[in-house]
Each structure stands twice: as structure tokens, then as C-alpha cells.
A and B are shown apart, each in its own frame.
Chain A
Amino acid sequence: MSWQPNGDVVLRVENLHKYFGTLEVLRGIDMEVHRGEVVVIFGRSGSGKSTLLRCVNFLEDPTAGTIEVSGVRLEGGHRTRHKRELIRQLRIKTGMVFQDFQLFPHMSTLGNVMEGPMTVKKKHEDEARGLAMHFLERVGLADKADEYPIRLSGGQKQRVAIARALAMEPDVMLFDEPTSALDPELIGEVLEVMRSLATELHMTMIVVTHEMGFAREVAHRVAFFHEGVILEEGPPSEVLSNPRSPETKRFIDAVL
């Protein structure tokens, strides 16, 4: 990898715990992500990797622990009015891409991408449109600007969803199994867009995925989740080729 992240810490997770009822899904996660870094999280389903991502932008409230994104620092636990506003600030600094896209079906592609800048950031319509077109070009879908999501393929939908998140100009992008809902022949185009974000924009990204090829080529760091803790992490060349723990090795053997 020619370019290496060397900047400040964009995202910091400290001692994060998450319970669903009495089930402890996250059992003390610590993580730092630097500007421009690409972290791939992998592990069995139910190991807590998606929950971590959803806790980072408070789609799930962490039971305990601290999340900090670009200086916005939040504790887990109950929400207060003040905290709700801070959560909103934090979410503006994070972009989220969902497994099932969740494009807004009542808006055109362009409308989807303009929505955040206009409604949340109160940008003028012309400026928002310029921004939206820029990011639609970025994901190679400028020609679909006026189409509605129902007319797009799964891969195209996910690329629009990526553009929608990028248009908020976030400091960190969260990808929650972005290719898991796609037909095999459509996975490549989405991964290609993600790769270009990493290599050309040096976008800070946390990616939950089972695409080990992507992890090997694009990630600076991979983290293996097991039963709510990070069992093993490090550069992909080390972790994926020479896993230390037997669980990691078993999982990698099963996926590859």
C-alpha cells in the first residue's frame, strides 16, 4: 500500500458495552481509527460487528462506554435533550451505508443525494445539487440522476446510497455489510467504488464485510470480532495470512 494514514484520530471507541436485554453483545470494545484509515471488521454473524457500527452513530444506544467522532464525545446510557443534539452532530460527521440500501423511494436519485445537504445542512438548492451531482459522478451514476430508486439495480442503489452518505461530507464512513444483499455479479461495482474512495479520496472507512479480497487489498487494518470482543487485529497481510487465534483461523478458512 503506497499511502498510509498518518493523521489524527477521527474515531475513538472506549470500553464500549452493549446489552440487548440480558444478552451482552459488545463486551468492552476499544478502537481508534485515524484519518484516511480503512478498517475492515469481520467475524461470524452475531459476533457484534454490526452492533458496533450501529453504536458508533447511535442507531443503537451503547449501554456503557464512550464514542468520539471528530471531537464530538458522547457517553453511553440514556438520552437527554442535550445528548440528542450531540448525537445529531455526531451523525452529521459520520456517513452510513446500510446492507439493504434504504434509499428514499419517493425521491429521485438526485433528490436522495441532495436531501442531507439541503434538509440537514440547510444548503441552498443549487449548491446541494452541485454537490449531489459531484458525488453521483464519483460513484459513476450521474446519468441516473433523474431515475427513481425502483428503476435501479441493487448495485446501482448501493452506489447511490454511498453518494448520499458522501454528500454530507462526513469525516468517517461506516459500511454495514454493503454487498451482502447483492447478487454476486453486482458486488464488484460497489467494491470498486469503495476502493476508489479509499485510494483516491483517502476516506476514513470502517467496513463490516466478508469480502476478504477487499480487506486484503484495501484495508490498512482488519479486526476479527468474536463473541463481542475484538479477538485479533492488525494489518491484513498478518491477520489474514497468519492468524494467531484458532477462532480467527477457523473463520478465515471457512470464508476463503
Chain B
Amino acid sequence: MAQPDVAAPMADRPPAPPLGRRERLELWSARVPWALKLAVVYAFVAGVLVLAFNAVQFDTQWMREHAWNIIRLGIPLTLLICVGAILLATVLATLGALARLSRNPISYGIASFYTSFFRGTPLLVQIFLIYFGLAEVGIRLRDAGYGGLSNIFILDTVPAGILALGLNYGAYMTEIFRAGMQSVGHGQGEAADALGMNYRQKMRRIVLPQAIRVIIPPTGNEFIAMLKDSALVYTIGALELFRRADLAGRADFRSLEAYLLAAVMYWIITGIFSFFQSRLERRMSRGYVRGGPSKWLPAGGGGGGGVGVVEVQDAQGAGPPS
């Protein structure tokens, strides 16, 4: 059967029904770049906030005057506490992970007890236990006639904060480190064994250098989370960022401005570290460990061109200024 209509010109077809308002809007919207839309939304949110702040007679003058003091006095201590705590946590997590992977019942038991307690109780309670609770231990020891011993338990606010954050994060990071070590294949350990390495040599030379590649990115995330949790140390009186802001605000009845300043500062700091963190993560995920624990080789080692060997210390140094 012949089908002459197939070759018929378009004009002979019935015209398409006119587009509705909604369809035309959707077509128009599809041509607008995503980034522009996002910018409009951001501007809108910011505008609403500005209007809201004006409505409550927000004192930007006060914020400008006090911001630098809070930054200058508060941020160094916040960073000091966090860097100290993450170092402590790294040591604890390494030991904890080795213990949790060992078949020694003593080390496994102690490590399991440690992680269970510090993951199962609130950080704030731990901070109070370590600052007020240990001080109580010290006082009771002194009363019992062990004066020399008592000083060990009576901690300053900053060491207490570092200890509490370090112990808490060490418990969580134990699991990260354990997973990192387990990601190094069983056969690698056997190859080290077959060479006659002892446990220490096997860990230090073979397992840990390979595990570090897996461990560092999530450890960066932990550090960023810790920057925020460090505000809890405020409660025992450490003069870190949040307490500085609070004190300044209370003195002038500008608490709203002070808390917002603190919030924005935490936001900016975590933003900065997140930026370096994601760069580090990208580098680590594509690279392979090369020449021991301190150097990384990008792009599966292929091609030979553009082989940038980067010291890890540099990558970390890009984070916390000390």
C-alpha cells in the first residue's frame, strides 16, 4: 500500500497548540545558568538576613570594633587546642588501631574499653570529668596525704581541653585508622613476615606507610569537626574563640552580635580547612604512595610526565598555621 502522506510538507500538519505560561517559563529558565540562579538565591537569603538584622537594630559598628580582638585573642588558642588534640588523637588512634587489630587480649581489651567509653558518652561530660572530676581526684589524694601525686590530676583549662578532645577524637579515629590498616592487604603483611621482619618493622615499614594514604583524608575531616567541638571547652573557662566572643558581648549587652561574629569566624575557619582538605583528598585519591610515607605520586604513576612529588608535610602545613 502506497503512503504518499509520508513525503507531505510540514506545513500541511495541524499547528502545535500554543505553549502555556508555565511551559514558557520553564523553557526560559532552562537557558539561565545554574550559577546565576544560585547567586540570585544567595543574594535573596542575604537580603532577608540584612532586613532582619536591621529590624532588630543590629550593631554592626560594635562588630567591626570587636572582631579583630576576638580573632587575635581567641583563634590562636582555638587552633592550639585543636592542633594539640589532633596530635594526641593521632597517637591514641594509632595505638588503638594496632591494639584492636592484635590478638593480644590485654591490648585488645583495653583499646575496646577506651573506644567504647569515649564514643558512648557525651563530649561535654568527658570535658567536665577531666577538668572538674580529675581535680577532685587530686584534692582527695592530697587529703589522703599524697600531695605530690595530686598535682598531676589538677589540670589547667587548656591542657584539660586538649586531653578531653584528644581522648574523644582518638576513640573515633581509632576506627578510621583500623580501617586504613586493614585496607593494606593481608599479603603485604605476609611478604614482610616472609622477609623475617618483626611486628614493629612490618608495621613501620610496610603497613603504616600504605595505610596513611587512606587515613589522612578522613583525619582532616575529623580536624574540621574538632574545630567546632572545641567551643565546648568554653564551659571550663578556656579563653578560646567562643569565650572571647561571649565575654566581649556580655560586657556591652551585644550578645547577639558576639555570637554571630563567633559563628561566622568558625564558619570561615572550617571553610578554609575544608578547602585544603578537599584538595588534599583529591591528590591522595589519585596518587600512589611513593618513596616511603612522606611522598606522593599522582596519576597511577603512568606516563612519566608531570610527576609531581609532594611532601605530605607541605600539604598538612597548608592547614594549621602554628
Chain A positions near chain B (C-beta within 8 angstroms): 57, 59, 88-89, 91-92, 94-96, 98, 100, 102-108, 111, 115-116, 119-120, 148, 150-151, 164-165, 168
Q: Mark B205-220, 1 if CB is under 8 A from A, else 0.
A: 1100110000000000
Alpha-carbon distance between A139 and B301 when the two chains are bound, in angstroms: 23
Partner of B196, one of A88, A102, A106: A88
CB nearest to B292 among chain A residues: A106
Partner of A151, one of B193, B205, B289, B301: B301
Collect the chain A residues with CB atoms within 8 Å of residue B124's CB: none
Collect the chain A residues with CB atoms within 8 Å of residue B293's CB: 106
Q: With A151-B301, A151-B302 as given contacts, are A91 and B194 in contact (CB-CB < 8 Å)?
A: yes
Alpha-carbon distance between A168 and B71 when the two chains are bound, in angstroms: 58
Q: With A119-B201, A150-B300 as given contacts, are A57 and B292 in contact (CB-CB < 8 Å)?
A: no
**Contacting pair A148 B290 (CB below 8 A):** yes
Collect the chain A residues with CB atoms within 8 Å of residue B258's CB: none
The binding surface of chain A is classed by DSSP as: mixed
Alpha-carbon distance between A91 and B196 when the two chains are bound, in angstroms: 5
A-B contact count (CB 8 A): 76
**Contacting pair A107 B292 (CB below 8 A):** yes
In the complex, which range does the number of interface residues on chain B fall in?
20 to 34
Alpha-carbon distance between A120 and B188 when the two chains are bound, in angstroms: 16
CB nearest to B206 among chain A residues: A104
For window 198-233 of B, CB contacts with A under 8 Å fall at: 198, 201, 205-206, 209-210
Collect the chain B residues with CB atoms within 8 Å of residue A104's CB: 188, 191, 206, 210
Partner of A59, one of B190, B291, B292, B302: B190
**Contacting pair A120 B206 (CB below 8 A):** no
Alpha-carbon distance between A45 and B194 when the two chains are bound, in angstroms: 23
Q: Mark B24-47, 1 if CB is under 8 A from A, else 0.
A: 000000000000000000000000
User: Nearest 8 CB-CB pairs, A to B?
Assistant: A106-B289, A92-B196, A96-B194, A102-B191, A116-B195, A91-B196, A102-B187, A120-B196
Collect the chain B residues with CB atoms within 8 Å of residue A103's CB: 191
Partner of B297, one of A94, A95, A148: A148
CB nearest to A151 among chain B residues: B301
Query: Is B259 at the interface (CB under 8 A from chain A)?
Result: no
Query: Is B197 at the interface (CB under 8 A from chain A)?
Result: yes
**Contacting pair A102 B297 (CB below 8 A):** no
**Contacting pair A105 B193 (CB below 8 A):** no
CB nearest to B304 among chain A residues: A151
Query: Is B153 at the interface (CB under 8 A from chain A)?
Result: no
Alpha-carbon distance between A120 and B193 when the two chains are bound, in angstroms: 10
CB nearest to A150 among chain B residues: B301
**Contacting pair B191 A98 (CB below 8 A):** yes
Collect the chain A residues with CB atoms within 8 Å of residue B201's CB: 119-120
Q: Report which residue of A57, A89, A103, A115 has the largest number of chain B beta carbons within 10 angstroms of its beta carbon.
A: A115
